[in-house]
A and B are shown apart, each in its own frame.
Chain A
């Protein structure tokens, strides 16, 4: 049972570099999400996708772009990394649009921008 798989688990970038965080789920969930978590703060939503083909901004979208490639995959791209983007990034998925089903999280990507 893979659940939600994120890659990479760790990454160090130089300021200005770009990278894509990959996320895939095998639970046939409609909705997928990207969060970031910083020390002393809760999870903050960056972008989410309620269904294949749709994406919406969350609380902190600046500096990020996303692609819902298909129902399984939702990637997060940093076009020009900044030190303020040093964080732990979590991808999550859940089943029903508009309703609640348990959200499952990936193991996280620990990103450091120097």
Chain B
């Protein structure tokens, strides 16, 4: 079983609609969680960190559910420019170095006019 799993999609979303997707992780000791965005096999870029209480950044909302071991990303009022692959990233215990980050394979979102 992979340590971080994502629905690969694609999620086809009409412009202006809301889309949400999850990422599950297997290591209950995981401490830090992030969403990265990757366009067309270009370099990944940090979209947002995920905090225990949940957090919002504009149209993007991230949630963490430790009991069920998943994080979620919700995109409201989808824009064409939101079309990308969203990578779930999980970091182990705080004593681990950055190198212990685990990446999911990504969820593809396609926003259509």
Which of A10-18, A78-86, A98-106 lies at the interface with chain B?
A: A98-106
- In the complex, are the beta carbons of B98 and A42 less than 8 A apart? no
Grouping DSSP codes into helix (H, G, I), strand (E, B) and loop, the B interface class, with mixed when no group exceeds half, is loop
- In the complex, are the beta carbons of B96 and A98 less than 8 A apart? yes
Contacts of B99 in A (CB 8 A): 31, 33, 45, 48, 50, 56, 58
A41 interface neighbour in B45, B46, B105, Cβ under 8 Å: B105
Q: A42-62: which have CB < 8 Å to B?
A: 42-45, 48, 50, 56, 58
Cα–Cα, bound, A35→B99 (Å): 10
- Is B1 engaged at the interface, CB distance under 8 Å to the other chain? no
What is the number of contacts between chain A and chain B, taking CB atoms within 8 Å? 63
Q: A42-B104, A108-B41 are known contacts. Are A33 and B98 too (CB-CB below 8 A)?
A: yes
Q: A33-B99, A98-B96 are known contacts. Are A40 and B44 too (CB-CB below 8 A)?
A: no
A111 to chain B, nearest CB (A): 13
- In the complex, are the beta carbons of A90 and B43 less than 8 A apart? yes
- In the complex, are the beta carbons of A105 and B105 less than 8 A apart? no
Cα–Cα, bound, A37→B85 (Å): 13
- In the complex, are the beta carbons of B98 and A103 less than 8 A apart? yes
Q: B90-105: which have CB < 8 Å to A?
A: 91, 94-99, 101-105
Q: Which residues of A line the B interface, CB within 8 A?
A: 31, 33, 35, 37, 40-45, 48, 50, 56, 58, 88, 90, 94, 96-100, 102-103, 105-108
Q: List 11 A-B contacts (CB under 8 A).
A: A35-B103, A42-B104, A44-B103, A45-B101, A48-B97, A98-B98, A100-B32, A102-B46, A106-B43, A108-B41, A108-B42
Q: Which residues of B line the A interface, CB within 8 A?
A: 2, 4, 8, 32, 41-46, 49, 87, 91, 94-99, 101-106
Sorted from nearest, which 7 A-B pairs have the closest CB atoms?
Answer: A48-B99, A42-B103, A105-B43, A43-B103, A42-B105, A50-B97, A94-B98
For the complex with contacts A37-B41, A56-B99, 11 further pairs of A-B residues with Cβ separation under 8 Å are A33-B98, A33-B99, A40-B8, A45-B99, A45-B101, A88-B41, A97-B97, A98-B95, A98-B97, A102-B46, A105-B44
